[in-house]
């Protein structure tokens, strides 16, 4: 409402203007479906009448559309719920298992809760404990080609499948070296994982390998990368804690070699010198070569490098000369 004296706005329900104190008459609420001209009877907008003719009822009609102006209009057909072009529909029948990470990032343990007849695929030797009703099956993934692909990425030839039979069950998993575990929820995404960082995944997740080339080799990830795609959960592990970093489109981020665990396939990367002042400065800085990643997408990096840890212990190893 508006004050008739000072034109100040008056909130609905106020009887006086808050500025000048002028009384404000309440404005009646008008129903747009019930309009009436002074001195004339009420008119129903759903009833139309021509002079000298009986009233005609106007039934409700749906919205119409026409592909061409010369063709009769056709009612709109229901097209279903709207889906964002970058948000794929959920996988029909998919129900992810429950997974929690215990004991921190130094000695992480994945505790997986399985519903009846639910399964999880895991790296051979990753199982720590399980319920007595868990059925274990070990098989070669992908036949002969699967054996060769998993061999080149440094993974075990066999994949273990744990299934809860006759009721819910529990499986605990851990990596061979001290470190962290992260759960990545795949929603029709593709992730590339460095050699030795795969721990477990949902049965619906597709497992493959991808040739990384020279830049993958010099980045410390090996010539081949493990490739995971589809819907479900992916468990990755590392030596040291795992840090998640989400890159916006065009955003760049530099990671030292041997410190990347996994990254989304939409992320591009290149190998470059750590110092912009020359290769010698890069070597003397102790960094040498680094990886520069560019978004969009997610990357997961590890806070420690197993190769660097071995280098620290090397002076304490006995030599062939007995020194």
Q: What is the CATH number of domain 98-314?
A: 3.60.160.10
Contact partners, residue 308, CB within 8 Å, separation at least 6: 258
Q: What is the pLDDT of residue 295?
A: 94
Note the pTM of the prediction, 2 decimals.
0.63
User: pLDDT confidence of 275, banded at 50, 70, 90?
Assistant: low
Residues near 171 by Cβ (< 8 Å), separated by ≥ 6? 112, 114, 120, 122, 127, 129, 130, 131, 134, 162
Q: For residue 310, is pLDDT > 70? A: yes
* Bond prior to 296 in cis (omega within 30° of 0): yes
In 3D space, the residue among 187, 304, 296 whose CA is nearest the CA of residue 237 turns out to be 304
Of residues 179 and 219, more confidently modeled: 179
| Beta-bridge partner residues of 23 | 16
- List, as one string, the DSSP characters of 102-114: ESTTTB-EEEEEE
**Of residues 127, 101, 130, the one with CA closest to residue 199:** 127
Question: What pLDDT was estimated at residue 57?
Answer: 52
Going by C-alpha positions, the residue among 274, 281, 277, 278 that lies closest to residue 259 is 274
Count CB atoms within 10 A of the CB of residue 291.
25
Span 55-83, mean pLDDT? 46
In sequence order, what DSSP letters do the residues of 164-203 get, joined into one string?
E-SS-EEEEE--SSSEEEEEEEEEEEEEEE-TT-EEEE-T
Averaged pLDDT score across all residues of the chain: 76
Per-residue pLDDT tens digits for 245-257: 999 999 999 998 8
Give the pLDDT band of residue 27 (cuts 50, 70, 90).
Answer: low
- CB within 8 A of 115, min separation 6: which ones? 95, 97, 164, 168
Residues with Cβ within 8 Å of residue 203, at least 6 apart in sequence: 119, 120, 121, 161, 232
pLDDT at 82: 35
Cβ atoms 3, 19 nearer than 8 A: yes
pLDDT at 142: 58
Do the strands 56-57 and 47-48 form a parallel or antiparallel pair, or are they unpaired?
antiparallel
Question: For the residues of 231-274, what is the DSSP string, one character each?
Answer: EEEEEEEEEB-EEEEEEPTT-EEEEETT-EEEEETT-EEEEEES
Q: What is the rounded (10 degree) CA torsion for 120, 122, 124, 129?
A: -70
**pLDDT tens digits for range 81-131:** 334 333 444 343 345 789 999 998 999 999 999 999 999 999 999 999 999
pLDDT(282) > 50: no
- 202: its two tokens: 């949902």
Mean pLDDT of 140-156: 59
The 8-class DSSP code of residue 71 comes to: S
User: Where do the structural domains in the chain lie, given as residue ranges?
Assistant: 98-314
Query: Average of pLDDT values for 211-238?
Result: 76
């Amino acid at each position: 409402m508006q004050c008739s004296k000072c034109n100040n706005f008056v909130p609905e329900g106020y009887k006086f203007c808050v500025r000048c104190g002028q009384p404000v008459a309440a404005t009646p609420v008008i129903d747009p479906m019930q309009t009436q001209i002074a001195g004339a009877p009420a008119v129903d907008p759903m009833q139309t009448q021509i002079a000298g003719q009986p009233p005609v009822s106007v039934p409700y009609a749906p919205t119409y559309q026409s592909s061409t102006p010369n063709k009769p209009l056709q009612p709109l057909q229901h097209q279903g719920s709207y889906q964002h072009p970058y948000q794929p529909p959920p996988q029909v029948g998919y129900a992810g298992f429950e997974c929690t990470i215990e004991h921190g990032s130094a000695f992480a343990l994945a505790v997986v809760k399985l519903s009846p007849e639910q399964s999880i695929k895991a790296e051979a030797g990753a199982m720590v404990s399980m319920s007595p009703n868990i059925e274990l099956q070990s098989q070669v993934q992908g036949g002969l080609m699967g054996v060769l692909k998993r061999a080149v990425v440094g993974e075990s030839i066999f994949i273990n499948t744990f299934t809860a039979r006759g009721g819910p069950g529990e499986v605990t998993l851990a990596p061979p070296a001290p470190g962290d575990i992260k759960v990545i929820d795949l929603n029709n995404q593709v992730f590339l994982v460095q050699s030795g960082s795969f721990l477990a995944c949902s049965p619906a997740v597709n497992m493959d390998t991808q040739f990384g080339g020279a830049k993958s080799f010099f980045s410390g990830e090996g010539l081949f990368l493990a490739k995971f795609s589809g819907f479900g959960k992916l468990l990755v592990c590392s030596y040291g804690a795992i840090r998640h970093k989400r890159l916006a489109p065009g955003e760049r981020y530099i990671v030292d070699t041997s410190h990347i665990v996994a990254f989304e396939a939409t992320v591009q990367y290149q190998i470059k010198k750590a110092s912009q002042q020359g290769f010698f400065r890069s070597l003397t800085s102790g960094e040498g070569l680094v990886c520069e990643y560019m978004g969009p997408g997610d990357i997961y990096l590890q806070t420690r490098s197993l190769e660097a840890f071995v280098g620290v212990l090397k002076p304490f190893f006995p030599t062939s000369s007995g020194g």
